[in-house]
Every structure is written in structure tokens, then in C-alpha cells.
């Protein structure tokens, strides 16, 4: 199960958990599983999230692989100038 | 010209060929947004609110429409209803609905046969307002009793009990912050403020729009991202994106401010109402400053713990940022991760709120959020270094992030060059020049994530063996030259044989704008892949001609070669030979690549500045300025140096003079360049640059973005240098002469 780290202000939508374990093979599956398990996270996911999987930032790719031992951090979708 | 400072094995990358747009720009042939004209074209003017917050009671355009030559007036009633979310925000900002939300908010627009007539007609449009309470300051906007300027702006993230102007909330961190502070020898905490500043691009917003009654239209526009212009304009007008073709002009600066729409849909709405005649709309400088996106203003609390040897034990920030009257526009989501990005600190807490206020809708500005965050954190680091009498570069080397560090916001840094920039700054002559009376030195580091994003590129081989590359990212800082160099290097042909064109929305798949320092990275990466596709096809054509397997052919030095002795003995077939007969060998040869580009490499920089402060006037003079930044690989070093110098110049302006000044009536007091003081050439010395090259493993040639990091360190570096010169610490930008003088007087007292 991949370990998904939620930033602090998201944790209240996931029963206060800092880390949520998710069974997923891709970033897209991980996002969908997160929303199924914790519907309160839906607005944040729909607003657009980037992720870091095992240290690598995935800005916007649902097909990017997630391994069973992966450590995933959710990040706000970044803008640039 | 071969590169002589670094042995890379490249023939072209790292050289400095002439700029492809240079001749057009110095001769005036380059076509910017306002240069475009069409037969029968009308000119538009916009009526803007003189109030910071007001209910629009009535709009009477009868006197304007009675003028001979006035062809159309549009108000919000001419735009479709039912939009939601950011589309509604864009429409609300394009033309006010029931309320004007800031000084300069567009209320109506008029098209006439001349620009002067349109301006006269705009003055005849009578708008009746009911003035409402307003608030423009970030802290005042969330104080008890502040007027709630829009109901229901808070998104899911805002906890209950916060002020009605709070639109977003964010919090993250790691480690035990309180234990970290307890382990420190000194703990210091201060509040820092930055005012809103404008991107200050030289070219004002300008476009020509044409749209028939059938809803099909075309636009020529100055923009950083024409697919964004298409999508946003289509949403605001309620038309299909495919019915709008958008062609970008040359661009006279953007810095993030041209990644969105402000008035562009008005040209289309007016055109449609004026029987399909094209409509030109060009903003004045005053309109640009009043009604297009500046960056956010910020109020920031920072707390740091440090041991006497310089080890930082813990850090904490609480940022408050306002991004105008619309939610989602302040860069808290970027500022917080940037705050401690240069450091590897065991315990950190980040917290931020976004607040709305009666100001224009903010837009991205070069490394959005990072300069403010750096001002707060790097200023406090400098204050504590001075208190403990520690070398500021040594402290940053001691605590700095390096390869494999877990970043302050979660991901692990792969290969980064922060410490290389610090070492180079420490070894640079500028760091050891003796300082005189009233002179001070400041040091700061900065960070930007960089970005990949949606990218589509096509390359076509010409009949003469040249290559044309079609990209969708407008060239703001030299990306055409850099992409041309990468393509020429890949194909093994002269740089002069490659032409890179920025093409319109009908010619490629969707491209994100030139933003996030992504154009040379992402369009370059896609262009290299497109070139490789074309090389594969050219090898196949040669193989067919020679009667051997395509796998037995390799591409090098601009020609197909037999891959080894078993492939047969054939003379190389050059790209020119293949191109000249491609019509009879299977047809045109092109390569294409489209991707949401990943593999971005973060960019770090370190700046050193020396200033002299006149103790009688408070005026600060920049004596010397050094930018050291990791480019990954500098494809065209002259453009890289230009980005470093430009970022520093903008940051110096933000540090010393630039600010939005609002009166008690909520009106912007300085909407012209005479009063909104950007640095000019005579204000600055030549800015010294050192390019560090720690190649990004996520790009075929090691590119990182270079456009944004450079604006980040100047804010704290300049303020710290002034503190060194005067003994007075300015914690609220800009360090304008009156403020510096007051601080000197207070320190003396």
C-alpha cells in the first residue's frame, strides 16, 4: 500500500490522519481511491493537485506509476510567472 | 562559436549565436500587439469604476451611441449568464456585474471608428454608482469589523470562524517545532511586509478581435499563452474554443501578467455587436496598473531558532496575502513551499491565509510568492547572522539543502545546485571588496520549482535540408534561440538552418503558456523528441534507398550513415539529400511530440549586493550586484545572463521603490510610471552574473528553467545590505528614501 501524506489542513477531511494508505498503481488511481475513502477530500482533488512520488514531483500526470511501497506527498498545483 | 569554458562535447549548445528576433526588434519590424491592424477596424475604449467598491445602479450609454462613428457598446448584460467558479471570476473581472470591486474595474466598453472617438464616447457613458465600504490592506481586510466584500468566497480549506474575506487556508510542516526552538541558543520572531508590485512589462496589453454573429472569431494578441486566451475568452463569451483562433504577437514582456485575460474578450464582444468588424483594444499604462494583475501584498510572521554556531533548529511562518477581489489569486500555495526551500531544517511549520480585498485581480508575477517568502525568511536569517556575528554564506552552507535532502514541502531533491551557487558567491571578488562608510553588503538565496506542463511541438524538414520548428510557447526570454540550438545540436546541422516559429492555436495541440520557467525546458524537450522522430524517419528513407534494414542506419552529423561494417558501404546521405527527394520517397518528413512534460529540475540562486545609503536623504545606491544561479545547462548563455540580470533588476525595484499606493478612498494613487518607480538603466550598475551548471537529469541536455529564481533573492539581499550600511532594519518594503531616512533617524534616537 502506498503511503499518501496529507498536508495539515487536509487532515480534517481524512479523520485527522497525516498518512493515508492507498492501494493504487497510478497517480490517477491513487486520487480516485483517496476520494472514495474520504469524500471530504474531493474539493481539494478537483481543485487540482500535484504530487511527489518517491521524491519526484508529478505536476499533472494521472498515468504516472505509484508502487506498493511508494511515499506520496500531495502538493498544491503550482503556478508560475 | 565553440564553447571554451566547459568541455561538454556539444558543438552548439553553450554558444551565443545572434538573436533570431534581434534585427526585427532593433529595426522596429517586430509586430507587437498594438501593431496589428485590419481593414475596417474599429477602436475600443473601456469605462472603468472610479470607486473601490460600489453597486452599479444604472448604465446609460444613449449619449455615446448617439455619436456619429460609435458602433457598439457592451455591458455585462451582453455576456452570457450561468458561469461558475473561475470562469465566473474571469467574466466578473472582464466586466463588472452588479458591483464594481476595485478602482479601475471595467464597467462598459465602446467601439468607434477612431481611438479618440472611442475615448470621447466612453466619457459619455453615464454610470450611476452607490458607493460601498471598501478595504484594501491585507491585515485590515481580515480584522474584526472589516467589510465582507464578497460573500461565500471561502473554499473547502478555510476553517470555521475565520473572517469572511478569507478565501483559502493552508498548513503543513514536519518535525517538533517547539522542541526545535527549545534547542536553539536564540529564537527571534518578526513581521515582514511587502506591498503589491506590478510586473511592469513595457508593452501594455493589446489585441485585435473579430467575431461574426455566428460566434466564430479570431484574435491577434500580446500574450504568454494563446491557448489560455482561447479557453478563457471562449468561457467568458459562451462560445466553443474551436471557434476561436488566437495568434500571438511578439511580446514586450509578461513576467506572468500575460498568462490570463483582462480585456481581450471585450474586443470580440464589441466586434460581434458591431457586425463583425475587427476591434482593436490597447490599454494605457494607467489602465495596466489599475486593472491588470499585480502580485499580492503580503504580511508575514517568521520565527526562527538558531544555535550559536549557526545551526537552524526550527522555523515557523504565518503568511497573510491578498490577491485582489477574487479568490484563488494570491500565491500562498507557492509562497509557503518556497519559504524554507533553500534549507534542510529538522522542524518546520507553515501556515497561510489568502484574503480578498478591493484591489485588482492579481496575476502571476515571476516566481509567484517566492520573493515575498524570501524577503521574510532570508531577512530574519540575516538578522540572526549579524546578531551572532556569523558569515551569512557559511550559515547557508551549513543549513542548505543538497542532493537527497527532503525539501521543506515534502519531495526529495534529486540533483540541485544550491551549494554550488553559495560556494561560487563566497569565492567571487564581489564578496571580498572592502566596504566604505555608509556602505553595506547583503546576501540571500532563492528558489523556484520550475515547471513542465502541457506541450506540443512539430518539426518539419525542408526540401533543402533545413528544419522548421513550430512551438506554442511565446518567446519571452530567448526560447526560440535556445530551442533552435537544441534542435540543431540533435540533428547535427548548423544553427542557422533551423527556424523556430511560435504558431497559432490552430497549428498545434494545447500548449500551456510560457510560465513557470518552462518554455526552454518543456518545448525544448519536446522539440528534441520531434527531431529524433524526424531522424528515425530519415534513417528509414536512407535505408530504403540503400536496400538495407532501417536498424542498420544511424544518424550523426546531419546525415544518415550505415551503422557498421555489416550494413554495407554507402556514403552518408545528408539531411539535404533526403529532404530534396522526400517527395518521391514517401512524402514530407516531420516529427511531432506532445507531452505533459515531467523531469523538472529545481533552480536555486544566491545574490550578493553592495549598497551605499545617503544618511541625509535615505537614498540607496546599488554599488555592485552579483547573481549566481544554477541553470542546469546554459543553452544560450547570453540569454541566461539576461534572465539573471532582468530578475535582479525587477527585484531591486521591488526592494527599493515599487509599491501600489492606495488612498483612504481606495483609489490607486500612482497609476503612472512617473509615480510607480521602476528601476531604469541609470539606476543600476552592470549586474555581474555567474552561471552554475549542475545538469538536470530530467532533460536531454540538462536544462533547468532560469527565468524566475532571479527575482527572489534581491528583496532580502537589498534590505540586508541597507541594514549593514545604516544599522536600521527595514521590515516593510519598499526601502524607499523616506522610509530608510525614518529608520535611520529612529536608530539614532
Q: What is the pLDDT of residues B329-349, one digit of tens each?
A: 999 999 999 999 999 999 999
Note the CATH number of domain A2-76: 3.10.20.30
B611 with B667, same domain?
yes
The average pLDDT across B164-190 equals: 97
Q: What is the DSSP string of B301-343?
A: EEEEEE-TTS-EEEEEEEEEEE-SSSTT-S-HHHHHHHHTTTB
Of B548, B576, B597, the domain-final residue: B597
**Cis bond upstream, residue B513 (ω within 30):** no
Within-domain flag for B537: yes
The average pLDDT across B315-322 equals: 98
B624 pLDDT more than 50: yes
The average pLDDT across B532-543 equals: 98
Nearest to B411 among A8, A52, A79 (CB): A52
Q: Do B173 and A8 touch (CB under 8 A)?
A: yes
Cα gap B449→B377, rounded to integer Å: 17
Q: Where is average pLDDT lowest: B3-7, B101-105, B456-460, B715-719?
A: B3-7
Give how far A39 is from chain B: nearest CA, Å.
Answer: 12
The answer to whether B574 and B458 have CB atoms below 8 angstroms apart is: no
Give how far B584 is from chain A: nearest CA, Å.
Answer: 40
Provide the pLDDT confidence category of residue A78 given band limits of 50, 70 and 90.
confident
The pLDDT value given to residue B7? 53
- CATH classification at residue B656: 3.30.365.10
Domain count, chain B: 2
Q: Give the global pTM.
A: 0.96
The pLDDT value given to residue A79? 72
The pLDDT value given to residue A34? 95
Give how far B470 is from chain A: nearest CA, Å.
Answer: 22
Q: Where is average pLDDT lowest: A10-19, B362-371, B428-437, B462-471?
A: A10-19
By CA distance, what is B711's nearest residue in A? A81
State chain B's mean pLDDT as an integer.
Answer: 96
What is the value of ipTM here, to two decimals? Answer: 0.92
Burial of B492: CB neighbours in 10 Å, binned 0-12, 13-18, 19+ = middle
Provide the pLDDT confidence category of residue B3 given band limits of 50, 70 and 90.
very low
B553 with B639, same domain?
no
The average pLDDT across B693-708 equals: 96
B739 with B610, same domain?
yes
Of B680, B684, B682, the C-alpha closest to B623 is: B684
The average pLDDT across B209-213 equals: 94
Q: Which of B153, B169, B172 to mutate to test the interface with A (most CBs of A within 10 A)?
A: B172
Q: Do B449 and A57 touch (CB under 8 A)?
A: yes
Sort out which chain B residues have CB atoms less than 8 A from A76's CB and list them. Answer: 170, 333-334, 337
Of B597, B624, B640, the domain-final residue: B597
Give how far B278 is from chain A: nearest CA, Å.
Answer: 30
The answer to whether B418 and B604 have CB atoms below 8 angstroms apart is: yes
Of B575, B597, B619, the domain-final residue: B597
Cα gap B56→B127, rounded to integer Å: 7
B62 pLDDT more than 80: yes
The pLDDT value given to residue A9? 86
Q: Which range marks the domain in which residue B473 is found?
A: 452-597
E-strand ranges in B526-579 read: 553-556, 559-562, 573-574
Of B389, B441, B393, the C-alpha closest to B613 is: B441
Q: What are phi and psi of B618, to 5 degrees?
A: 80, 5
B586: region left, alpha or beta (phi > 0 left; psi from -120 to 50 alpha): left
Give how far B373 is from chain A: nearest CA, Å.
Answer: 15
Within-domain flag for B718: yes
Within-domain flag for B101: no
Q: Do A58 and B259 touch (CB under 8 A)?
A: no
Q: Would you tell me how many other CB atoms lie within 10 Å of the CB of residue B675?
A: 11
The pLDDT value given to residue B2? 36
Q: Which of A39, A47, A63, A81 to mutate to test the interface with B (most CBs of B within 10 A)?
A: A81
H-type alpha helices, B340-439? 370-388, 392-399, 418-427
CA B151 from chain center: how many Å?
Answer: 30
Within-domain flag for B247: no
Calculate what percentage of chain B has a pLDDT beyond 70.
Answer: 99
The pLDDT value given to residue B8? 72
The pLDDT value given to residue B238? 95
CB within 8 Å of chain B, chain A residues 6-45: 7-10, 12-13, 40, 43-44
Q: Do B410 and A40 touch (CB under 8 A)?
A: no
Domain ranges of chain A: 2-76
Sort out which chain A residues have CB atoms less than 8 A from B168's CB and list them. Answer: none
B617 with B743, same domain?
yes
Calculate what percentage of chain B has a pLDDT beyond 90.
Answer: 97
Nearest to A57 among B157, B257, B600 (CB): B600
Provide the pLDDT confidence category of residue A47 given band limits of 50, 70 and 90.
confident
Q: What is the DSSP string of B425-444?
A: HHHSGGGTSPP-TTEEEEEE
Q: What is the pLDDT of residues B655-679, one digit of tens each?
A: 999 999 999 999 999 999 999 999 9
B1 pLDDT more than 80: no
The average pLDDT across B200-204 equals: 97
B463 with B435, same domain?
no
Of B165, B99, B154, the C-alpha closest to B132 is: B99
Nearest to B412 among A13, A55, A59 (CB): A55
Amino acid at each position: 500500500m502506498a503511503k499518501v501524506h496529507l498536508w495539515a489542513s487536509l487532515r480534517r477531511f481524512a479523520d485527522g490522519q497525516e498518512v493515508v494508505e492507498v492501494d493504487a498503481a497510478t497517480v490517477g488511481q491513487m486520487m480516485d481511491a483517496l476520494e472514495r475513502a474520504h469524500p471530504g477530500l474531493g474539493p481539494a482533488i478537483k481543485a487540482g493537485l500535484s504530487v511527489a512520488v518517491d521524491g519526484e514531483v508529478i505536476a499533472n500526470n494521472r498515468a504516472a506509476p505509484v508502487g506498493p511501497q511508494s511515499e506520496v506527498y500531495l502538493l498544491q498545483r503550482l503556478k508560475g510567472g | 562559436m565553440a564553447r571554451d569554458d566547459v568541455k561538454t562535447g556539444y558543438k552548439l549548445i553553450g554558444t551565443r549565436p545572434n538573436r533570431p528576433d534581434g534585427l526585427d526588434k532593433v529595426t522596429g519590424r517586430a509586430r507587437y500587439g498594438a501593431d496589428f491592424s485590419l481593414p475596417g477596424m474599429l477602436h475600443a475604449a473601456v469605462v472603468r469604476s472610479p470607486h473601490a467598491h460600489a453597486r452599479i445602479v444604472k448604465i446609460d450609454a444613449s449619449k455615446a451611441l448617439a455619436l456619429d462613428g460609435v458602433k457598439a457598446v457592451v455591458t455585462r448584460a451582453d455576456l452570457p449568464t450561468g458561469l461558475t467558479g473561475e470562469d465566473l471570476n474571469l467574466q466578473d473581472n472582464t466586466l463588472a456585474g452588479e458591483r464594481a470591486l476595485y478602482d479601475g474595474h471595467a464597467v462598459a466598453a465602446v467601439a468607434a471608428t477612431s481611438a479618440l472617438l472611442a475615448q470621447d464616447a466612453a466619457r459619455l457613458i453615464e454610470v450611476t454608482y452607490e458607493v460601498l465600504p471598501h478595504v484594501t490592506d491585507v491585515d485590515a481586510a481580515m480584522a474584526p469589523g472589516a467589510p465582507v466584500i464578497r460573500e461565500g468566497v471561502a473554499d473547502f480549506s478555510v476553517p470555521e470562524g475565520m473572517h469572511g474575506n478569507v478565501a483559502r487556508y493552508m498548513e503543513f510542516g514536519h518535525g517538533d517545532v517547539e522542541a526545535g526552538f527549545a534547542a536553539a541558543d536564540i529564537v527571534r520572531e518578526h513581521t515582514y511586509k511587502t506591498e503589491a508590485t506590478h510586473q511592469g512589462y513595457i508593452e501594455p496589453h493589446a489585441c485585435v478581435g473579430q467575431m461574426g454573429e455566428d460566434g466564430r472569431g479570431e484574435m491577434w494578441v500580446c500574450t504568454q499563452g494563446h491557448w489560455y486566451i482561447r479557453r478563457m475568452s471562449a468561457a467568458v463569451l459562451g462560445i466553443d474554443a474551436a471557434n476561436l483562433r488566437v495568434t500571438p504577437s511578439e511580446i514586450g514582456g509578461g513576467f506572468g501578467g500575460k498568462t490570463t485575460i483582462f480585456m481581450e474578450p471585450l474586443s470580440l464582444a464589441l466586434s460581434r455587436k458591431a457586425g463583425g468588424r475587427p476591434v482593436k483594444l490597447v490599454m494605457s499604462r494607467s489602465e495596466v496598473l489599475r486593472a491588470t494583475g499585480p502580485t499580492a501584498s503580503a504580511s508575514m510572521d517568521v520565527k526562527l531558532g538558531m544555535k550559536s554556531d549557526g545551526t537552524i533548529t526550527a522555523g515557523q511562518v504565518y503568511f497573510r496575502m491578498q490577491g485582489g477581489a477574487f479568490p484563488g489569486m494570491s500565491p500562498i500555495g507557492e509562497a509557503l513551499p518556497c519559504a524554507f526551500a533553500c534549507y534542510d531544517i529538522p522542524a518546520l511549520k507553515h501556515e497561510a491565509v489568502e484574503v480578498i480585498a478591493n484591489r485588482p485581480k492579481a496575476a502571476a508575477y515571476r516566481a509567484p510568492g517566492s520573493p515575498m517568502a524570501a524577503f521574510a525568511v532570508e531577512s530574519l536569517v540575516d538578522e540572526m547572522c549579524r546578531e551572532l556575528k556569523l558569515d551569512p554564506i557559511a550559515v547557508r552552507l551549513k543549513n542548505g539543502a543538497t542532493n537527497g535532502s527532503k525539501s521543506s514541502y515534502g519531495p526529495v531533491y534529486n540533483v540541485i545546485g544550491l551549494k554550488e551557487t553559495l560556494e561560487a558567491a563566497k569565492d567571487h571578488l564581489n564578496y571580498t571588496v572592502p566596504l566604505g562608510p555608509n556602505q553595506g553588503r547583503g546576501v540571500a538565496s532563492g528558489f523556484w520549482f520550475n515547471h513542465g506542463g502541457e506541450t506540443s511541438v512539430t518539426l518539419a524538414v525542408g526540401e533543402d535540408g533545413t528544419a522548421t520548428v513550430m512551438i506554442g510557447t511565446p518567446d519571452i526570454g530567448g526560447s526560440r534561440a535556445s530551442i533552435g540550438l537544441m534542435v540543431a545540436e540533435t540533428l547535427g546541422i548548423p544553427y542557422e538552418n533551423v527556424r523556430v516559429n511560435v504558431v497559432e492555436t490552430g497549428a498545434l495541440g494545447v500548449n500551456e503558456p510560457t510560465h513557470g520557467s518552462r518554455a526552454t525546458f518543456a518545448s525544448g524537450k519536446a522539440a528534441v523528441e520531434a527531431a529524433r522522430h524526424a531522424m528515425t524517419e530519415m534513417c528509414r528513407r536512407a535505408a530504403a534507398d540503400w536496400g538495407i534494414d532501417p536498424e542498420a542506419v544511424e544518424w550523426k552529423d546531419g546525415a544518415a550513415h550505415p551503422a557498421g561494417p555489416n550494413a554495407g558501404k554507402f556514403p552518408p546521405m545528408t539531411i539535404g539529400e533526403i529532404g530534396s527527394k522526400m517527395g518521391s520517397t514517401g512524402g514530407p518528413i516531420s516529427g511531432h511530440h506532445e507531452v505533459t512534460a515531467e523531469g523538472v529540475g529545481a533552480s536555486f540562486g544566491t545574490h550578493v549586493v553592495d549598497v551605499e545609503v545617503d544618511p541625509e536623504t535615505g537614498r540607496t545606491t546599488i554599488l555592485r550586484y552579483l547573481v549566481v544561479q544554477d541553470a542546469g545547462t546554459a543553452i544560450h548563455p547570453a540569454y541566461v545572463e539576461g534572465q539573471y540580470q532582468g530578475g535582479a533588476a525587477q527585484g531591486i525595484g521591488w526592494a527599493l521603490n515599487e509599491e501600489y499606493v492606495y488612498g483612504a478612498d481606495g483609489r490607486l494613487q500612482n497609476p503612472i510610471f512617473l509615480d510607480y518607480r521602476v528601476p531604469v538603466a541609470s539606476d543600476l550598475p552592470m549586474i555581474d552574473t555567474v552561471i552554475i551548471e549542475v545538469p538536470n537529469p530530467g532533460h536531454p541536455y540538462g536544462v533547468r528553467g532560469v527565468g524566475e529564481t532571479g527575482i527572489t533573492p534581491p528583496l532580502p539581499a537589498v534590505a540586508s545590505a541597507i541594514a549593514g550600511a545604516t544599522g536600521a532594519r527595514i521590515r516593510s518594503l519598499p526601502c524607499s528614501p523616506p522610509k530608510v531616512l525614518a529608520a535611520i533617524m529612529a536608530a539614532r534616537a
